[in-house]
Structure 1
Amino acid sequence: MQHTPARTRRCPDCDGFPAVVITTGTRHTDGSRATIRVTCPACKGTGNANPARTTVTVGK
């Protein structure tokens, strides 16, 4: 019997990699690279997707 993996609520925009560090191309005086940290705007850096809200119209 083969078990199916549990469903994850991974963010579809960042695919579970919510924060990355990007080099700017410049270097500090000690020789290390200058970097900036960027987080996913969709999940706000958590890596998890919010459950989709459903809208139901009732009546006329």
Structure 2
Amino acid sequence: MDDGILINTVKLCNNCLHRIKFTANCKAYPNGIPKEILEGKVDHNIPYENDNGITFEKNS
């Protein structure tokens, strides 16, 4: 995996209102964020399977 993609995705996840701090989970994916999102292959600014309608939202 390209470290740049992971770093950028982690930054996106870290800035998301729905992220559960200190985990690789969020309200959309309480049992773990899908690999495709973490690898940056999927833009979670738009709905993705099984996200219960919860997408990226910037943490204020």
Q: TM-score range by the shorter chain?
A: under 0.3
Report the structure number with the largest CA radius of gyration. Answer: 1
Q: Which has the larger share of helix?
A: 2
Scaled by the length of structure 2, the TM-score of the pair is 0.21
